[in-house]
Amino acid sequence: MPSVRRSLTDAQRREFHDALEARRQEVLARQGRLDASLSDAREARSDGQADDEHDPEGPTMAATWSQLTGMHDDLEVEMTEVEHALSRIEAGTFGLCQRCGKPIGVARLRARPYAELCIDCARAAEAH
């Protein structure tokens, strides 16, 4: 597999590392706020305060819970992607397609810094 040093400059690797670290911190902050919301919802459900049948003005507790847990799951997936990208930077494989080994375009990495596939392999994967 070709070296990432041939596909990205040191400055670009730092750029992506910094962007991924910033994204990691943002996801952690969002997870913290979401965990607080989930805790509040859990408490409201256990206290019997949430009467879904008699609150026609707002969303039901079940809908709120479903939305919050879905957002929590999405953040977990994103955190995993960010952590894997940071690991690839450390390993020297960041910016290389995990399928074909070719460099992933810098524009693609700027749009999606945790991309594991080059655009051609990503399109092929979507077609299947």
Q: What is the CA radius of gyration of the chain?
A: 20
Per-position pLDDT tens, the chain of length 128: 444 445 799 999 999 999 999 999 999 999 999 988 888 877 776 665 555 555 566 667 778 888 888 899 999 999 999 999 999 999 999 999 999 999 999 999 999 999 999 999 999 999 98
Cβ pair 100, 93 in contact under 8 A? no
Give the whole-angstrom CA distance, residue 124 versus residue 117: 10
Fold of 4-127: Four Helix Bundle (Hemerythrin (Met), subunit A) (1.20.120)
C-alpha dist (Å) from residue 83 to 45, 52, 67, 93: 33, 39, 24, 14
**pTM of the predicted protein model:** 0.77
Asked if residues 84 and 16 have their Cβ atoms less than 8 Å apart, the reply is: no
